[in-house]
């Protein structure tokens, strides 16, 4: 029993030990990932796509995330348990606080919200109420209909400056962690250097404080065109899921994943 806490993850950032994280949606995979020393499990709204077969994360509800958070929490993982706040579940501060409280009651230990500095007041209130917060910047999949697709963010100087500025503002508002999705490695490196809270990346290069992947992607279960940042860890693991997960954790810790081929310039 070596429960991973927020302070442990902050300590890992200070020491330069990389944080290895995966999504999980049920007790069985949560237990398997926990045995391979995955540091953090995310009940992601990606479940709308990988479990429900929907075309985006937009249809996912708070009830969906609550159900899967309960399932993951039932495994009593040592890993920190993070849950996504789904589409429009924090459109107002009152809704955001009530819905985050539901996720915490279901077993989440930190909630993740997509959005920038506009969320600072809500972040302050959540943290004041005892709800740790991870702010998700860069590509925000809940905005897919506005963005017209899943595209790399922060590629021009103005966008990059604004992402750094929002990261700093969110840290000052009390955010305990940041997640950066699909941004150039150099930008993710700047953000990671300029905040003292852990920065977890997906498609954000090797210089983040940690990495996350959707479990189905790293197990080679997802079909069709796969994003550049995905690596299939089942390919070299002789059909063992546990070995694939062990390889993922070890490659993240030893800076062997991600490489330039999984990153954006």
Ligand X SMILES: Nc1nc(=O)c2c([nH]1)NC[C@@H]1CN(c3ccc(C(=O)N[C@@H](CCC(=O)O)C(=O)O)cc3)CN21
Ligand Y SMILES: CC(C)C(=O)C(=O)O
Among 14-22, 68-76, 127-135, 149-157, which window interacts with ligand X (CB under 6 A)? 149-157
User: Is residue 218 within the footprint of ligand Y (CB under 6 A)?
Assistant: no
End-to-end CA distance of the chain: 40
157 is in an annotated binding site: no
| Closest distance of CB 200 from ligand Y, Å | 8
39 is in an annotated binding site: no
Query: CB-wise, 45 or 209, nearer to Mg ion?
Result: 45
Among 103-111, 121-129, 146-154, 170-178, which window interacts with ligand X (CB under 6 A)? 146-154
Which one is catalytic: 93, 166, 181, 261?
181
Tell which one of 51, 220, 228, 241 touches ligand X (CB under 6 A): 228
User: Is residue 150 within the footprint of ligand X (CB under 6 A)?
Assistant: yes
User: Is residue 39 within the footprint of ligand Y (CB under 6 A)?
Assistant: no
| Closest distance of CB 80 from ligand X, Å | 20
> Counting Cβ atoms within 10 Å, is residue 13 exposed (0-12), middle (13-18) or buried (19+)?
buried
Select from ligand Y, ligand X, Mg ion, none the partner in contact with residue 23, using the beta carbon and a kind-dependent cut-off of 5 to 8 Å: ligand Y
Binding to Mg ion, residues 83-142 (CB under 5 A): 84
Is 181 considered catalytic here?
yes
Token pair in block for residue 135: 């702010």
Tell which one of 10, 50, 74, 241 touches ligand X (CB under 6 A): 50
13 is in an annotated binding site: no
34 is in an annotated binding site: no
Binding to ligand Y, residues 77-116 (CB under 6 A): 84
Print burial letters for 197-210: b (CB count within 10 Å at least 16), e (below 16): bbbbbbbbbbbbbb
User: Is residue 133 within the footprint of ligand Y (CB under 6 A)?
Assistant: no
Tell which one of 44, 48, 86, 210 touches Mg ion (CB under 5 A): 44
Question: What is the SS3 string spanning the chain?
Answer: CCCCCHHHHHHHHHHCCCEEEEECCCHHHHHHHHHCCCCEEEECCCHHHHCCCCCCCCCCCHHHHHHHHHHHHCCCCCCEEEEECCCCCCCCHHHHHHHHHHHHHHCCCEEEEECCHHHHHHHHHHHHCCCCEEEEEECCHHHHHHHCCCCCCCCCHHHHHHHHHHHHHHHHHCCCEEEEECCCHHHHHHHHHHCCCCEEEECCCCCCCEEEECHHHHCCCCCCCCCCCCCCCCCCCCCCHHHHHHHHHHHHHCCCCCCHHHCCC
**At which residue do the structure tokens 């103005």 appear?**
158
Point out which residues bind ligand Y (CB under 6 A).
23, 42, 44-46, 84, 179, 181, 202, 212, 214
Chain residues binding ligand X by CB under 6 A are: 46, 49-50, 57, 139, 141, 150-152, 182, 214, 216-217, 222, 227-228
Binding residues for 3-methyl-2-oxobutanoate are: 45-46, 84, 112
Give catalytic residue positions.
181
């Amino acid at each position: 029993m070596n429960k991973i806490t927020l302070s442990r993850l902050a300590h890992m950032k200070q020491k330069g030990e990389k944080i290895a994280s995966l999504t999980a949606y049920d007790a069985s995979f949560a237990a398997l990932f926990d045995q391979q020393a995955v540091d953090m499990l995310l009940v992601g709204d990606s479940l709308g796509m990988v479990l429900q077969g929907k075309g985006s994360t937009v249809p996912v509800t708070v009830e969906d995330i609550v159900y899967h958070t309960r399932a993951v929490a039932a495994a009593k993982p040592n890993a920190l348990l993070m849950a996504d706040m789904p589409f429009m579940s924090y459109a107002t501060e009152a809704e955001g606080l009530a819905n985050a409280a539901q996720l915490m009651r279901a077993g989440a230990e930190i909630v993740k919200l997509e959005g920038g500095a506009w969320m600072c007041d809500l972040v302050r209130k959540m943290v004041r109420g005892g709800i740790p917060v991870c702010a998700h910047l860069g590509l925000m999949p809940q905005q897919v209909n506005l963005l017209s697709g899943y595209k790399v963010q922060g590629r021009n100087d103005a966008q990059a400056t604004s992402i750094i500025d929002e990261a700093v503002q969110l840290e000052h508002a009390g955010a305990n962690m940041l997640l950066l999705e699909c941004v150039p490695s150099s930008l993710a490196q700047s953000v990671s250097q300029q905040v003292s809270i852990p920065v977890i990346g997906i498609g954000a290069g090797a210089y983040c404080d940690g990495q996350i992947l959707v479990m189905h992607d790293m197990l080679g279960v997802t079909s069709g065109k796969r994003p550049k940042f995905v690596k299939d860890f089942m390919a070299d693991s002789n059909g063992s899921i546990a070995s694939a997960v062990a390889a993922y954790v070890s490659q993240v810790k030893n800076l062997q994943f991600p490489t330039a081929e999984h990153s954006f310039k």
